[in-house]
Amino acid sequence: MSCDKYDPTSRGRWSTRSANRIVCAVVLMSAGLLGCSQNPNLTNQQATWQQQQQQQVQQYTAQLREAQRRANNLDVNNRDLHSQLAQSQQQLQRIAQENTLLKQRLNETATQLAQTLSAKQQSEKRVEVLEASVRQRGGASISANNSLRTSLPLPELQGVHVRRDGEVIRIAMPSDNLFLPGSAVLNGTGRPIIDQVATAVARMYPNQIIVIEGHTDNSPILGGPGSSNGQRSLAQAMSVDQECTSRHRMNERQLRVLGNGMASPIASNATTAGKAQNRRVEVAIYPETVSGVSVARQ
């Protein structure tokens, strides 16, 4: 049904044709409503249909509510799973970091162990060479002196540490007090310390085997002469040996020189004070005597 256009010449009124159409439509609608009200079968069918529709709507509503409840539960479970996944990822990350740190520590420990074993093997080889050279040098030979094993006296010295190491007496002189930093060159205070030790050793142990041992901490030494801990410790021990033989005329067949590097620490290298204690030159007096030694004194 199309509406007639407004006629501007009608001065605000609808046309007759449009009015007739409206009247007809009203009559037809009245007749239809009347016919529906006068047909009981049609009314019963409509009621049954409406009841069925209401039941279906109720079923759909119940199903929708159940679906919504399940969706909410799934959302909650999904959030829990995401939270657990995030926690698991954090734990895996922490475990990976701990594994990396453990691997680094294991590598460091393995490196330190290898260095210690190598230093120990070198020390053992030096001791073997030392013993062989003492036996062969100048016709001197080593002989055990059981009477002196427990009766070697301890010297009383200032500024150095004296201790018993089993049957051996050790006099430890701090390298920082003997040498210029990072070298084997004696400083101004080094010679008086060596003079005191050499005088006491020559007087108290005229026939014992005496080993001058150089020791360092575990700090790496880079470049220059004596570019390793072993070489640096040996050079420092040789400087002390030179002082003992040249200035105090101690017999060379008594003396031996050993560079232990960082193989024999007496304190922890984890602290500055411990490292300072490990940087030292030790004069080790053994109970064995060297026969055929004629000690020259001033």
Q: Write the DSSP string, 186-201.
A: B-TTHHHHHHHHHHHH
Please tell me which residue, 17 or 42, carries the higher pLDDT value.
42
Dihedral sign for Cα atoms in the order 72, 78, 81, 87: negative
Q: Is 0.85 topped by the overall pTM?
A: no
227, 233, 235, 236 alpha-carbon torsion, rounded to 10°: 130
How far is residue 236's CA from residue 186's CA, in Å, rounded to a whole number? 9
First CA to last CA distance, the chain: 146
Check residues 189 and 25 and name the one with the higher pLDDT. 189
The full set of domain ranges for the chain reads 140-291
pLDDT at 13: 46
More confident residue, 239 or 54: 239
pLDDT at 201: 93
Residue 40's pLDDT band, with cuts at 50, 70 and 90, is low
Residue 281 has pLDDT above 70, yes or no: yes
Share of the chain above pLDDT 70, in %: 69
Per-residue pLDDT at 136 exceeds 50: no
Residue 129 has pLDDT above 50, yes or no: yes
Tell me the CATH class for 140-291. alpha beta
CA distance 238 to 185: 10
